[in-house]
Chain A
Amino acid sequence: MSDIAAVATGWGLTFVVVATYALWVVGRGKTIGRELGIGKRQELGPGSDSSTPASS
């Protein structure tokens, strides 16, 4: 394997893996959120209580 082929494979794989994971995380969030129907009534920031509806 040439050095250019190794670099192209490494960078390409890294981009694909990270992008796929990011899309999976966002997609899973949307899917579960839709199942729950909580988009407009729930806060999800770190530190908040999962059982507490948003105040606004």
Chain B
Amino acid sequence: MSQIPDSKHMTATLGTRILGSVAVAAVLLMTLLGLVVSPEDLVQGHAVRMLYLHVPSIWIAYAAFVLTAASSVLFLIRSRSRADGGRHHDRLAGSAAEVGVLFAGITLVTGMLWGRVTWGTYWQWDARLTTTVLLFVTYLGYLALRRLPADPIVRGRRSAVMALISFVNVPIVHFSVDWWRTLHQKASLSVGRRPEITGEMYWTLLYSTLTVTVVASWLIVHRYRVIRLEELRDEEALNALIASRLREDDVGN
């Protein structure tokens, strides 16, 4: 928790400024590694450089949706017992989901461009691609549900249930390449399996994943604070409306 220093930097604190600076420097280095230092692939040529965006993006989307699901469970548990209705968890779920959707979209677009070069087509309705687009659409639905006008706690509970339903698809997307025969290759990096890539490509991929994680963390923190500002604005508007009605009643009496 930290103090907002002035109205010019409404959602920034010293911590997020440092995180933001680290993110910008890390992205510059990631660009250098991904586009210049890392070698071409023998088969794919320069197209392999899409790997350094595509894989970290889906990793962040998964991580963000895990955070959304965990926060939603905590919100459902605590919304009945805590004085503030556990709204911190609801805000965290909403901010993480929005960033997750952003990176799921980037995964789809970079994958389509990569597919055009390596497969000769932007799109195939195979298991991995279809489940990924379904993931993207269901979380878009979740974000739309969050915008419906309702009591914040009621809306939070509905959204939390939607988040948990949407989350069922996350492991299906990840394991789709193992469960079904797909055009999509198997995971480049996975626990308990030798990586498909080595050397500079391997380290660039790991570094890119770390960089995208830092960028996404910065985005989630800022989005969280903006959601909180939106709630404050709504509360102040409601209080002003109630005060106005009470004054009207006093005049009428």
Which A residues contact B (CB, under 8 angstroms)? 1-4, 6-7, 9-11, 13-14, 17-18, 21-22, 25-26, 28-30, 32-40, 42-51, 54, 56
Closest to B53 in A: A14
Q: Is the CB of A30 within 8 A of B7?
A: yes
Q: Is the CB of A6 within 8 A of B232?
A: no
Q: Is the CB of A32 within 8 A of B13?
A: no
B168 close to chain A: CB less than 8 A: no
Q: Is the CB of A34 within 8 A of B44?
A: no
Which B residues contact A (CB, under 8 angstroms)? 1-13, 31, 34-35, 44-47, 49-50, 53-54, 57, 84, 87-88, 91-92, 102, 105-106, 109-110, 113-114, 116-117, 215, 218-219, 221-226, 228-233, 235-236
Q: Is the CB of B233 within 8 A of A35?
A: yes
A22 to B198 Cα, complex, angstroms: 33
- Of all A-B residue pairs in the complex, the 7 with the closest CB atoms, nearest first, are A39-B7, A33-B10, A45-B1, A29-B11, A3-B47, A32-B229, A3-B46
- Given A22, A28, A46, which contacts B1 in the complex, CB threshold below 8 Å? A46
Chain B residues, CB < 8 A from A1: 113, 116-117
Chain A residues, CB < 8 A from B218: 22
Q: Is the CB of B50 within 8 A of A46?
A: no
Chain B residues, CB < 8 A from A32: 10, 226, 229-230, 232-233
Chain B residues, CB < 8 A from A26: 11-12, 222
Provide 11 A-B residue pairs closer than 8 Å at the C-beta atoms, listed in order of the A residue. Answer: A3-B45, A10-B109, A10-B114, A11-B34, A11-B49, A13-B109, A26-B222, A32-B233, A33-B11, A44-B4, A54-B4
Chain B residues, CB < 8 A from A28: 226
Chain A residues, CB < 8 A from B233: 32, 35-36
A48 to B2 Cα, complex, angstroms: 9
Q: Is the CB of B4 within 8 A of A43?
A: yes
Q: Is the CB of A54 within 8 A of B3?
A: yes
- Given A10, A18, A40, A54, which contacts B50 in the complex, CB threshold below 8 Å? A10
* Candidate in A10, A14, A28, A47 with the most chain B CB atoms within 10 angstroms: A10
Q: Chain A's nearest CB lies how many Å from the CB of B7?
A: 3
